[in-house]
């Protein structure tokens, strides 16, 4: 998780951020892509049954969080255990870091 702290405070490049081709390149699904960023936004990127949540304030990343989504009701989320987070990051960390590099300046 330490590697993700690098992106806190980084400005979002909205054109790259909302580009469906860029999301597809990194195998991410985001259900709400804005044309422009409002003062405060939260985005959910689905990766299997886990969600990467990005909180964006004034165009800059303020928080990155990972949660597990209930398979029967996607509105219900649970924190990942240390083991689940470790397994998830082992599989997805490099890809997610590359995505974050592509959308920030």
Q: Which residue range is the domain that position 24 belongs to?
A: 2-103
C-beta separation of 4 from 97 below 8 A: yes
How many domains does the structure of the chain reveal?
1
At 38-78, the pLDDT tens digits run 899 999 999 988 999 999 999 999 999 999 988 888 788 99
Residues 6+ apart with CB under 8 A from 64: 4, 7, 8, 52, 53, 54, 55, 100
Mean pLDDT of 13-40: 88
Q: Are strands 50-57 and 40-47 parallel, antiparallel or unpaired?
A: antiparallel
Closest by CA to 79, choosing from 68, 87, 89, is 68
pLDDT at 7: 97
- Dmax over Cα atoms in the chain, in whole Å? 37
Distance CA 49, CA 65 (A): 14
Least confident stretch, 13-17, 24-28, 33-37, 101-105: 33-37
């Amino acid at each position: 998780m330490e590697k993700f702290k690098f992106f806190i405070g980084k400005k979002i490049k909205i054109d790259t951020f909302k580009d469906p081709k860029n999301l597809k390149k990194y195998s991410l699904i985001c259900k709400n892509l804005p044309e422009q960023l409002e003062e405060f936004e939260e985005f959910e990127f689905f990766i299997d049954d886990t969600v990467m949540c990005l909180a964006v304030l004034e165009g800059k990343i303020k928080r990155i969080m990972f949660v597990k989504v209930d398979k029967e009701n996607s509105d219900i989320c649970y924190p990942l255990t240390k083991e689940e987070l470790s397994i998830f990051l082992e599989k997805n960390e490099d890809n997610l870091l590359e995505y974050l590099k592509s959308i920030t300046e």
